[in-house]
Amino acid sequence: MHILQPKHTKLKQEEVKKLVEKYIISLSQLPIIKIDDPALPEGCTKGDIIRIERKDEDKINVYYRVVV
């Protein structure tokens, strides 16, 4: 992982359920990230949900993507 690359984390099933309930969305509504993306953590498979943390000066913005 490069120092400038945002942190990518694979969510556990419990975290996915909380995400879906919190935002009242389905997994098909999430933006996608391709399985061959070099930023993905090891062991990701299609359908996994990835949390991306991007630093913006003094705060952290969180984004979610589904692996396709």
What the block records as the tokens of 46 is 């299609």
Specify the pLDDT at position 34.
95
Q: What is the pTM of this model?
A: 0.86
Specify the pLDDT at position 1.
62
Q: Decide if 2 is inside a domain.
A: no
- In degrees, to the nearest 5, what angle opens at C-alpha 59 toward C-alphas 31 and 43? 45
* CATH code of the domain containing 46: 3.90.940.20
What the block records as the tokens of 6 is 């945002």
Q: Which range marks the domain in which residue 56 is found?
A: 7-67
Residue-wise pLDDT tens digits, 20-57: 999 999 999 999 999 999 889 889 999 999 999 998 88
Q: How many domains does the chain have?
A: 1
